[in-house]
Amino acid sequence: MLQVARQLGTPCYVYNEAVIMRQSRIVLDTFENQPVKWLYAIKANDNPHILSLIQKSGIGFDTVSFEEVLLCRHFTDNPRQIFYTENSMSDAEMDAAIQMGVILNIGSLKRLERFCRHPEATECCVRINPAIGDGHHARVNTGDSESKFGIRIGQIEEAVALAKKYGKRIIGLHAHIGSGIKEPENLIAAMKVLIELSKEFSDLTFINFGGGMPTPYRSSEKPFDMAHFGRLASALFEADLKGRPEGFHYLFEPGRWFVAEAGFLLTKVQTIKDQLETRYLGTDTGMHHLMRPIIYDAWHDVVNLTKIEHTPDQLYTISGNICESGDILAFDRLLPEAEMDDVLAFCDAGAYGMTMASQYNRRALPAEALLKTDGTFQIIRPAQTAEETVAEFLDKCRFTTTINS
């Protein structure tokens, strides 16, 4: 790892291919004899090399924007391998998705009506708000009854009536209760709700139960017991499958599960300073590269790779290089005494790290590298240089167009 930091420079994201493959294998082995398919929620990490790696293991794509759909089209000729959960989708996006033939998952009655009125639309999935939410933070709880997502259970009759009126088929039911689910029982409860509701629909070919399988970010957190979850879910499926048509299947669409533990954000110490009560380690990365600690108070373990053999006996607060006092990636971490240029690793940063990165303060985006199973490293996205970043920005803003009123 230190060598990658030396060769690639910091900051950079590094992903371990073996971990991604392990996570894929676990899910694929969970339901051996049941009609279960897995999708990867690409918002967690959409580096093309990672998409290709996960797709090769037999996993489809879960997308939430037309841009993500377009990206996935580069990895599969079969649009039915792409599941597109809309969220305030525009008419133009809907039209393009219909033309493309991806599976559209619609989350509001108004949008369902627009879909039904589209002459070329034939079938879609609907997203239900199951009134059961969960997640590692209130901001990622999507199943709560007041969240902006999904069609209320009380409006299902209307959804069914709409489809019938326009002669369209609702072929799928979907819910996603949140990200980083804390109580797996909540997921099981929401699955039961969906299975029960599915009786109201006559054309269903699948039910998609969303993602949200958590990652243990702290050593005190237990890993999600996929095998146990599989047993609980299998019992539901076994009872539900009787009377279902040929080809009927269940889906899950986790993102974090596949990539979080595989990723590290490497950064170098650029300053060390004692304020009255806080000892800061200033780094060459920040909230623009790893937003999670700032938005969700998220925890990422930090390791000083340069001092790996040393005893952790100092408390450090690790700050970024963004001009905001809130740009703190970790508070009060016990680490070995650090020196300038030490390389730190933020662990479990493979999900929602790079995909949420920005150029705030006009900063450049970091490189990404893949540690392959044969031990070699591959740069899968070179770092932007400061010069490139500014040149691209200037180029985009060079031309002004006047819009006539």
Enzyme catalytic residues: 323
Of 126, 140, 162, 335, which one interacts with ligand LLP (CB under 6 A)?
140
Positive/negative CA dihedral, 46, 51, 53, 57: positive
Distance CA 289, CA 321 (A): 10
Cβ-based nearer residue to ligand LLP, 41 or 94? 41
Work out how close the CB of 394 gets to ligand LLP at its nearest, in angstroms, rounded to a whole number: 30
Of 211, 263, 282, 366, which one interacts with ligand LLP (CB under 6 A)?
211
Work out how close the CB of 284 gets to ligand LLP at its nearest, in angstroms, rounded to a whole number: 22
Strand partners, 14: 264, 369
Site string for ligand LLP, 159-178 (x = CB under 6 A): -----------------x--
Cβ-based nearer residue to ligand LLP, 177 or 344? 177
Cβ-based nearer residue to ligand LLP, 144 or 342? 144
Of 150, 212, 320, 336, which one interacts with ligand LLP (CB under 6 A)?
212
Of 17, 62, 134, 144, which one interacts with ligand LLP (CB under 6 A)?
62
Work out how close the CB of 153 gets to ligand LLP at its nearest, in angstroms, rounded to a whole number: 18
Work out how close the CB of 262 gets to ligand LLP at its nearest, in angstroms, rounded to a whole number: 13
Tell me: does residue 44 bind ligand LLP (CB under 6 A): yes
Of 254, 263, 286, 350, which one interacts with ligand LLP (CB under 6 A)?
254
Distance CA 89, CA 184 (A): 30
Q: Which of residues 280-299 bind ligand LLP (CB under 6 A)?
A: 292, 296
Site string for ligand LLP, 341-360 (x = CB under 6 A): -----------x--------
Distance CA 73, CA 100 (A): 9
Work out how close the CB of 386 gets to ligand LLP at its nearest, in angstroms, rounded to a whole number: 27
Cβ-based nearer residue to ligand LLP, 19 or 272? 19
Q: Which of residues 104-133 bind ligand LLP (CB under 6 A)?
A: none
Q: Is 219 exposed, middle or buried (0-12, 13-18, 19+ CB in 10 A)?
A: exposed
Site string for ligand LLP, 304-343 (x = CB under 6 A): ----------------------------------------
Work out how close the CB of 23 gets to ligand LLP at its nearest, in angstroms, rounded to a whole number: 11
Would you say 134 and 178 are in contact if contact means Cβ atoms under 8 Å apart? yes
Work out how close the CB of 64 gets to ligand LLP at its nearest, in angstroms, rounded to a whole number: 6
Tell me: does residue 86 bind ligand LLP (CB under 6 A): no
Half-sphere exposure of 200 (CA within 13 A, CB side): 19
Tell me: does residue 41 bind ligand LLP (CB under 6 A): yes
Q: Which two tokens stand for residue 24?
A: 């894929």
The residue ranges that bind ligand LLP (CB under 6 A) are 41, 44, 62, 64, 85, 140, 142, 176, 179-180, 210-213, 253-257, 292, 296, 352
